[in-house]
Amino acid sequence: MLGDNPVFVVEWHTRRILACNDAVTRVFGFNPEELLGHDTRCLHVSDTAFESFALESEALLQSEHNTYHCRYRMRRKDGSEFPSENLVQVIHDHEEGRVAVVSFVRDLSGCDSADLPGHGLGLDSAHALSMTIPGAVFRRIRDVHGNDRYTYLAGQLVDELGIDPDAAREDPSRVFNLMEPNDRQLLESAIQSTARSGSGIDLVVRFHSPSGKQYWLRIISRPTQLGDGTIVWDGLAIDITGEKQAQAHAAWLADHDRLTGLLNRAEFIAHIERALEAAHKHSQQIALARLAVRGMFKVNEKHGLPGGDALLCQIADRLDDTLPEGSIIARSHGDVFLVKLEIPDNDGGLAAGLRTLQSAFDAPFDLGDLNPAHVSASIGIARYPEDADTTDDLLRAVALAGDRAHKHPEVDYEFYDREISEAMRQRFQLEDRLRQAIAEEQLEPYYQPQISLSDGRLVGLEALVRWPQADGSLIMPGAFIPLAEEVGLSGRIGRLMLRRVAHDLHTWSANGWTTVPVAVNCSARQFRDTKLVRAYEQEVLEQGLDPGLIHLELTETSFIDNYDNAKRIMDQLNGLGVTFSIDDFGTGFSALSYLSRLPFRVLKIDRSFVAEILDEAHQRNVVQGLIQMASTIGLYIIAEGVETAEQEAELRCMGSDAAQGFYYSPALPAADIPHWHAALSKKLDGV
């Protein structure tokens, strides 16, 4: 059987072996991998024999024949020699004189000269040959009418690609449909141009098998024009997928860490260089973090190096999974990782990035032991441009910060700059505590009364969040609401407030107090969050409360850049019966006409105006104008921050409907509200 014999595909001008089959091992003692890419010198008995064979075959190739055979001695890997016969099929000969050949070798030791094949390969032997090489052999013809078909198509690959040779013969597109569209275009235009020029094709194209596997094929062919005008392309498609994958893998290894699959240090540095250039151009900030595993030594001691490696891989996976897009992660060396963090536009973003880094160590690691391993990391941070403005300096700064963090087991991270380290640490701690306080529902609403200016009665309450501390003190919202906004916690605070206010309303009415509407503050970020509607439904409506009892206070920032979306959310909530106040009015830029198109019911005049109405004639006019316009579009007006009887009198005069401020009461705990109200009524009614 021909298929049991060695077959080589050799690039002629270099004599490099492009492909060979497994039979080379039996006859020559070499594994195919040992031969691929090398020239055929090692298969000849001497260098002289190799060179004279080259000359001899060169002469043969100048002749008209596409096939020839010759006999000579060859050499095995172990140095022994044997007589052989070579059948050589020329595959391609393009203008530069390059030739690829398929060379079929037969070991003649112990063979009788009677069974030697003659000149040329018959179709049967061509078929057998084609089945031994990785790829396919084809003959494509274009008849005088310009119609193409295959008259011959066979090879391992034809089966692997699931091509039905009979169908494909008549319809070459069945083969071409499996090709990557770009490559297909290339090959089709090569066929067209070689048909005209008679030159050869030597192209690498990609195929996809029906199961989705990708193949790389090198297509080598040259057209011959027959007397009647028919054009024939005899050719070979050599499967070079393995070679391509090896190349791709080699390229991948050059810039990745073998163990974890993350980028390696060199590639990370190259990334940072590019990132700094871009950051410089767009005035952006970049932060580098250097993360070193604490307790690696113990893990190695207990679990051996394989355990240590497994740990590093798990850490790499977690970092890769948790860090946001745009971050770049590398393993620098040993147990040290480098991370480029995105800093959106404030330091809050950096704190979030740091949290994410640390959260990769929250859960224990599974090292195949009964007890999962708890490890943590020390983190050093350096920032561009504050700490350094070149890649080298930045790496040096982050290494210093990282070292310092690692030496102090009590700190999780260390900034290049000490002061910043301290500020960030406090901020980070506050964020941690706030998260916990939200989870444990420690935050609670205090209520500030709103008083009608016509009769002095209670018309509503504003819920203001307070964070009670273990020592009995309260943290005021100014100390944590801005942070909550930055780190995305305001939605959770808003929901908690809705829940607590709903609960207080229930308690009040269960205790026989006639409730008044309560305004709940809704931050800009919380408002943009579509979950707000759901939160309102769950925390208020599903608790059986009248939606008229809890309304939402929005500031201008909620809709300033965001009018359409704001209107959509407001309309949706309005449809559920929710009403809105516009808070801090006058501090932003919104025109009243703009507001009149949104479903606001109440306008709250900011306390900075109220503070000045008595002293500043100009402010007084502004407020007067505001009140007049707001009244014409039917808004109910509440003045904030009223501290004195004079301010109250002035505001009443100007047409404000209600007021709120320390003059009446600061915000009080829910339980105090009914008593406060009773005292007010008593004063008004004189009983």
One character per residue 654-683, x = contact with ligand C2E (rule: CB under 6 A): -------xx----x----------------
The residues facing 467 across adjacent strands are: 475
Among 643, 674, 676, 680, binds ligand C2E (CB under 6 A): 643
Among 464, 552, 623, 654, binds ligand C2E (CB under 6 A): 464
Q: Which does 17 bind (CB under 5 to 8 A by kind): Ca ion, ligand C2E, none?
A: none
Nearer to ligand C2E (CB atom), residue 262 or residue 464: 464
Binding segment for Ca ion (CB under 5 A), chosen from 383-391, 411-419, 491-499, 514-522, is 514-522
Q: Contact, 310 vs 268, CB < 8 A?
A: no
Least separation in angstroms between CB 344 and ligand C2E: 20
**What is the spatial distance between Cα 50 and Cα 140, in angstroms, rounded to a whole number?**
34
**What are the structure tokens assigned to 535, written together?**
């939160």
- CB under 8 Å to 409, separation ≥6 — which residues? 294, 378
Among 342, 529, 584, 650, binds Ca ion (CB under 5 A): 584
Strands 444-452 and 458-468: antiparallel
Binding segment for ligand C2E (CB under 6 A), chosen from 160-168, 374-382, 472-480, 503-511, is 472-480
Among 3, 83, 295, 477, binds ligand C2E (CB under 6 A): 477
Q: Which does 667 bind (CB under 5 to 8 A by kind): Ca ion, ligand C2E, none?
A: ligand C2E
Residue 69 Cα distances to 16, 56, 656, angstroms: 20, 11, 110
Binding segment for ligand C2E (CB under 6 A), chosen from 434-442, 508-516, 563-571, 636-644, is 636-644
Site for Ca ion in 540-559 (CB under 5 A): 553
Nearer to Ca ion (CB atom), residue 97 or residue 666: 666
- CB under 8 Å to 82, separation ≥6 — which residues? 27, 73, 74, 76, 107, 108, 109
Among 133, 179, 205, 465, binds ligand C2E (CB under 6 A): 465
Nearer to ligand C2E (CB atom), residue 175 or residue 642: 642
Nearer to ligand C2E (CB atom), residue 146 or residue 478: 478
Is 581 one of the binding residues for ligand C2E (CB under 6 A)?
no
Is 521 one of the binding residues for Ca ion (CB under 5 A)?
yes
Among 11, 183, 556, 583, binds Ca ion (CB under 5 A): 583
What φ, ψ does residue 164 adopt, rounded to 5°?
-85, 110
**What are the structure tokens assigned to 125, written together?**
């032997």
The closest residue (CB) to ligand C2E is: 661
Least separation in angstroms between CB 609 and ligand C2E: 12
Q: Contact, 592 vs 630, CB < 8 A?
A: yes
Among 584, 648, 650, 657, binds ligand C2E (CB under 6 A): 584
Binding segment for ligand C2E (CB under 6 A), chosen from 65-73, 166-174, 475-483, 668-676, is 475-483
**What is the spatial distance between Cα 340 and Cα 326, in angstroms, rounded to a whole number?**
8
Least separation in angstroms between CB 507 and ligand C2E: 18
Residue identified by tokens 């002293």 is: 615
Residue identified by tokens 């206070």 is: 553
Is 665 one of the binding residues for Ca ion (CB under 5 A)?
no
**What is the spatial distance between Cα 597 and Cα 475, in angstroms, rounded to a whole number?**
37
Q: Which does 2 bind (CB under 5 to 8 A by kind): ligand C2E, Ca ion, none?
A: none
Residue identified by tokens 């057998």 is: 128
Neighbours of 460 (CB within 10 A): 22
Q: Contact, 42 vs 168, CB < 8 A?
A: no
Report the run of H or E that residue 383 belongs to, with start and end: strand 376-384
Q: Contact, 681 vs 669, CB < 8 A?
A: no
Least separation in angstroms between CB 448 and Ca ion: 9
Least separation in angstroms between CB 496 and ligand C2E: 9
One character per residue 419-458, x = contact with ligand C2E (rule: CB under 6 A): -----------------------------x----------
**What is the spatial distance between Cα 517 and Cα 547, in angstroms, rounded to a whole number?**
9
Helix, strand or coil, per DSSP, at residue 102:
strand
**What is the spatial distance between Cα 147 and Cα 475, in angstroms, rounded to a whole number?**
85
**What is the spatial distance between Cα 647 and Cα 657, in angstroms, rounded to a whole number?**
13
Is 641 one of the binding residues for ligand C2E (CB under 6 A)?
yes
Is 478 one of the binding residues for ligand C2E (CB under 6 A)?
yes
Least separation in angstroms between CB 444 and ligand C2E: 10
Nearer to ligand C2E (CB atom), residue 152 or residue 467: 467
Among 431, 583, 648, 657, binds ligand C2E (CB under 6 A): 583
Among 232, 476, 614, 668, binds ligand C2E (CB under 6 A): 476
> For the purposes of burial, counting CB atoms within 10 Å of the CB of 538, is it exposed (0-12), middle (13-18) or buried (19 or more)?
middle
Binding segment for Ca ion (CB under 5 A), chosen from 307-315, 336-344, 365-373, 633-641, is 633-641
Is 523 one of the binding residues for ligand C2E (CB under 6 A)?
yes
Is 490 one of the binding residues for Ca ion (CB under 5 A)?
no
Q: Contact, 17 vs 9, CB < 8 A?
A: yes
Closest CA to 504 of 671, 668, 660, 677: 671
**What secondary structure letter does DSSP report for 477?**
G
Least separation in angstroms between CB 327 and ligand C2E: 29
Output the CA angle 153-154-157, nearest 5 degrees: 115
Cα radius of gyration rounded to whole Å, the chain: 41
**What is the spatial distance between Cα 50 and Cα 43, in angstroms, rounded to a whole number?**
8
Helix, strand or coil, per DSSP, at residue 59:
helix
Residues lying near Ca ion in the complex (CB under 5 A) are found at 521, 553, 583-584, 640
Using CB under 6 A, list all residues that contact ligand C2E. Answer: 448, 464-465, 476-478, 481, 490, 493, 497, 521, 523, 583-584, 607, 641-643, 661-662, 667
